[in-house]
Amino acid sequence: MTKAVTFVIFGATGHLSRTKLIPSLAKVIAREDLSAHAVIGVGSRDRSSEDFMALVKASLSTAQVDTEVSERFLSGSFSYHAVSDERSYDDLASHVERIEAAEALPANRLLYLAVPPSKLDATVVGIAASGLKSGKGWTRLVVEKPFGTDLASAVRSNDIIHATFAEDQVYRIDHFLGKETVRNLLVFRFTNSLFEQTWNRRHIESVEITVAESLGVDGRAAYFDESGTVRDMLQNHLTQILTLIAMEPPAVMDAASIHSEKVKVLSAVRPIPADDVVLGRYGSGSIGGESVAGYLDEPGVSDGSLTPTFVAARMNIDNWRWHGVPFYLRTGKRMSRRTSLVTVRYLRPPICLFHREGDCRGHQNVLTLRLQPDEGFELLIDVKQPGPGAMIGQIPLAVSYDDILESAPDAYETLLADVIWGDQTLFVRSDEVEAAWKLYDPLLDRSDIHTYPAGSNGPESADRLIVTEPGVWTAI
């Protein structure tokens, strides 16, 4: 089946569009074999369509998009339109209609909102008041993360969106959900009976989720200083991984059933006591042998900023499967290296049959799911060391995705294709986003922020959160 789509990208000149969205769109249009397409870039500042086209070409070139793919993309219709007041949305709608008529497009409209979070509501209101909201074909609204800055703003944005769009037209993006390794989590859990049967409190001692970045604010200080790591990472990326690790199998593998199971997990998370959370901010330090400035000295960070760049939390899920199993979540900037991983620690055997002297606790089976980079997984198992006696050693059963996958599509490619085909499975439903905010709202105004050196793995005080063996966070 071929498809023709009108892409209206609000925020088409921003960092996300230039670095991710435009190159991914080019690849998706080729991969999904769209029969025709138009791209209308929208911003708040006046620019010519020629300037926009130059930006698109530069973005394709920087991302080293294949020439054939780029040419196919650029053969579509490209234009730019600025919006300011309500009337300019009407003008934009007329512009889009003219292009659809000229290009004989069926008016399947993908409205992508890659605008700063503070502009989301006004943009939706502008769209709602104009003819943009109703093309002759389908209309789908894609909203970037973070969705809201707290519970109240997320509820407000949902209300504003729902005043015009049905939930099945809304695609709230969390690009972690488009990553091949994150998509694999449900397959890994529910198709391997070895894991399916042991994925519960009777076999698992603790679960740890780490998303570590070695980058600092990466030229986006103005955005990050307003949002901070609880809003930027914990409320969305880490929480999405948590729900996929902890959810029950859905009755059927469709978007609605999966979303409902994820919401049930979030509803079962016990309110997080203040003592079970440690916030941090990086000071100066060194990463990869290079000296880097502390957060407060980064250009663009406000004087006396109380924005955390690190958060670690111990969480408990009060349901049948997970009662008593701590979930440790940790994320931060300027940590020793970039990695995202899930560590599942299994309970030890009840008695110690082998070496009965000394430390008789034995080892743990530890399953590590590496989400990025070096994607793959590893299971530590005990084996007898060769030779006399019964010395026990641990060896990893390891799989690297590099060995089994030629190349995985980028998360944005996967997600854009899903929007085009109308599959909401990898997106976040309105009640899910609100349930996540409910958990983290109490953390947003805290000012007890511990400094950690850049290049470390966060403040040492975060170690006290680990109440199970080995008593420290997984080395990264």
Ligand X SMILES: NC(=O)c1ccc[n+]([C@@H]2O[C@H](COP(=O)([O-])OP(=O)(O)OC[C@H]3O[C@@H](n4cnc5c(N)ncnc54)[C@H](OP(=O)(O)O)[C@@H]3O)[C@@H](O)[C@H]2O)c1
Active site residues: 237
**What are the structure tokens assigned to 189, written together?**
């859990």
C-beta closer to ligand X: residue 37 or 81: 81
**Residue of closest CB approach to ligand X:** 14
Neighbours of 54 (CB within 10 A): 12
Residue 84 DSSP SS3: coil
**What are the structure tokens assigned to 71, written together?**
């040419």
Interacting positions 107-126 with ligand X (CB under 6 A) = 114-117, 119, 123
Minimum CB distance to ligand X, residue 311 (Å): 17
Minimum CB distance to ligand X, residue 328 (Å): 24
What whole-number distance in Å separates Cα of residue 110 and Cα of residue 84? 20
Q: Which amino acid is at 409?
A: P
Q: x-or-dash pattern for ligand X, window 7-46, by CB under 6 A?
A: ---xxxxxxxx------------------------xxxx-
C-beta closer to ligand X: residue 113 or 367: 113
Whether omega for the bond prior to residue 373 falls within 30 degrees of 0, making it cis, is: yes
For 306, the enclosing helix (H) or strand (E) is none
| Residue 83 is a binding residue for ligand X (CB under 6 A) | yes
Q: x-or-dash pattern for ligand X, window 182-221, by CB under 6 A?
A: --------------------------------------x-
C-beta closer to ligand X: residue 16 or 301: 16
| Residue 450 is a binding residue for ligand X (CB under 6 A) | no
Q: Which stretch binds ligand X (CB under 6 A): 140-148, 193-201, 354-362, 425-433?
A: 140-148
Minimum CB distance to ligand X, residue 332 (Å): 17
C-beta closer to ligand X: residue 27 or 175: 175
C-beta closer to ligand X: residue 16 or 99: 16
What whole-number distance in Å separates Cα of residue 120 and Cα of residue 141? 12
* CB distance 401 to 180 below 8 Å: yes
Is 83 exposed, middle or buried, given 0-12, 13-18 or 19+ CB atoms closer than 10 A? buried
| Residue 228 is a binding residue for ligand X (CB under 6 A) | no
Contacts of 123 (CB under 8 A, 6+ apart): 10, 83, 113, 115
Minimum CB distance to ligand X, residue 394 (Å): 38
| Residue 279 is a binding residue for ligand X (CB under 6 A) | no
* CB distance 463 to 292 below 8 Å: no
Backbone region of residue 65 per phi and psi (left: phi > 0; alpha: psi in -120 to 50; beta: other values): beta
Minimum CB distance to ligand X, residue 47 (Å): 7
Q: Where are the beta strands (DSSP E) in 11-122?
A: 36-43, 77-82, 109-113
| Residue 129 is a binding residue for ligand X (CB under 6 A) | no
Minimum CB distance to ligand X, residue 326 (Å): 29
Q: What are the distances in angstroms from CA 308 to CA 296, 303, 413?
A: 11, 14, 31
Q: Which stretch binds ligand X (CB under 6 A): 5-13, 57-65, 127-135, 384-392?
A: 5-13
C-beta closer to ligand X: residue 112 or 282: 112
Residue 425 DSSP SS3: coil
| Site for ligand X, rule CB under 6 A | 10-17, 42-45, 83, 114-117, 119, 123, 144-146, 220
